[in-house]
């Protein structure tokens, strides 16, 4: 591969990034989190409860450091809301991953989780 | 030893670039698949629903886009769609979104991943620089 191929690679990556942004925006409008929860057997009440909990997490992640949520707190509350999925690592990982393609507030929460190492670490 | 070093570095760079090229091709293939799957999930309808459009408004907008798609091929310059007309018509169909520039840009972007019939319209809009030319209208 020669040096002249580099601009081509850069253009292709830029195009991929642009299309990915669009895909994320469009996907966020299909309520992916609700679909995931439905797929894992959550009821509407559980879904509402979980969304309320996530909203609280968004607020707390924006607040003072001492009040910011921890991974253990997240895992414990998700387990309380969805007892049948307690300790289900695949579900917890998917839940966190899905926040990345959800509405902007949840994307921000996903960034917080990633920065804290929640998504990379074993939950 | 010193004379060998530069070529070794170049070899390593070439090797790494080839690896990246191969990864990139794989990601492009996956993205194409996602786009194809997304296009059959009515993305424009999802966008309109998210922005509060009702079924009548959605049908009216789709009908208007069909007209635009047909007019793109018109040989008469005056019949070809303009961004001003597009904005005015969208504002008529969806009065609550008349001044929402982000929404109008998102409609244009979404046409790119919609069914094939709208993709040509999207290309026309982009070639004419519509996304950048959309501005608040009185």
Find, among B121, B127, B134, B133, the residue nearest to B68 by Cα. Answer: B121
Residues B94 and B50 grouped into a single domain: yes
Give the model confidence (pLDDT) of B31-82 as tens digits. Answer: 888 888 888 888 999 999 999 999 999 999 999 999 999 998 887 878 889 9
Stretch A56-80: mean pLDDT: 95
Q: Which of A30, A114, A35, A45 is nearest to A83 (CA)?
A: A45
Domain span at B35: 1-40
Instruction: State the CB neighbour count (10 A cutoff) for residue B38.
Output: 19
Confidence of residue A122 (pLDDT cuts 50, 70, 90): very low
User: Does B116 share its domain with B63?
Assistant: yes
Structural domain tally of chain B?
2
pLDDT at A3 over 60: no
Closest CA to B72 of B112, B15, B125, B136: B125
ipTM over 0.85: no
Instruction: Annotate A32-69 with three-state secondary structure.
Output: HHHHHHHHCCCCHHHHHHHHHHHHHHHHHHHCCHHHCC
Q: Check: CB of residue A28 under 8 Å from CB of residue A101.
A: yes
Residues in B touching A16 (Cβ below 8 Å): 24, 27-28, 31
Q: Do A29 and B34 touch (CB under 8 A)?
A: no
Cβ A26–B17 below 8 Å, yes or no? Answer: no
Same domain, B50 and B90: yes
Q: Is B137 left (phi over 0), alpha (psi -120 to 50) or beta?
A: beta
pTM given for the model = 0.73
Q: What is the pLDDT of residue B104?
A: 96
The reply to whether B62 and B111 lie within a common domain is: yes
Asked whether the beta carbons of B118 and B111 are under 8 A apart, the reply is: yes
B67 shares its domain with B115:
yes
Q: Which of A2, A18, A19 to mutate to test the interface with B (most CBs of B within 10 A)?
A: A19
Whether B71 and B96 share a structural domain:
yes
Residue B92 has pLDDT above 50, yes or no: yes
Predicted local distance difference test score (pLDDT) of residue A5: 60
């Amino acid at each position: 591969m020669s040096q002249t191929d580099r601009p081509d690679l850069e253009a292709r990556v830029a195009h991929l990034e642009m299309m990915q942004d669009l895909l994320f925006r469009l996907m966020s409008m299909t309520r992916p989190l609700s679909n995931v929860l439905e797929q894992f057997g959550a009821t509407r009440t559980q879904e509402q409860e979980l969304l309320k909990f996530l909203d609280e997490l968004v607020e707390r992640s924006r607040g003072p450091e001492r009040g910011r949520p921890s991974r253990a707190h997240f895992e414990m509350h998700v387990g309380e809301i969805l007892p049948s999925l307690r300790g289900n690592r695949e579900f917890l990982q998917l839940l966190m991953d899905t926040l990345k393609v959800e509405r902007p507030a949840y994307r921000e929460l996903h960034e917080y989780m990633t920065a804290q190492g929640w998504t990379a670490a074993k939950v | 030893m010193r004379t060998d070093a530069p070529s070794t570095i170049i070899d390593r760079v070439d090797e790494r670039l080839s690896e990246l090229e191969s990864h990139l091709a794989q990601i492009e293939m996956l993205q194409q698949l996602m786009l194809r799957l997304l296009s059959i999930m009515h993305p424009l309808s999802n966008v309109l629903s998210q922005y509060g459009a009702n079924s009548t408004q959605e049908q009216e907008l789709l009908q208007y886009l069909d007209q635009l798609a047909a007019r793109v091929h018109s040989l008469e310059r005056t019949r070809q769609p303009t961004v001003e007309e597009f904005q005015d018509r969208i504002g008529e169909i969806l009065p609550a979104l008349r001044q929402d520039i982000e929404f109008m840009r998102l409609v244009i972007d979404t046409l790119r991943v919609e069914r094939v019939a709208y993709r040509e319209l999207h290309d026309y809009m982009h070639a004419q620089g519509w996304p950048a030319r959309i501005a608040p209208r009185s």
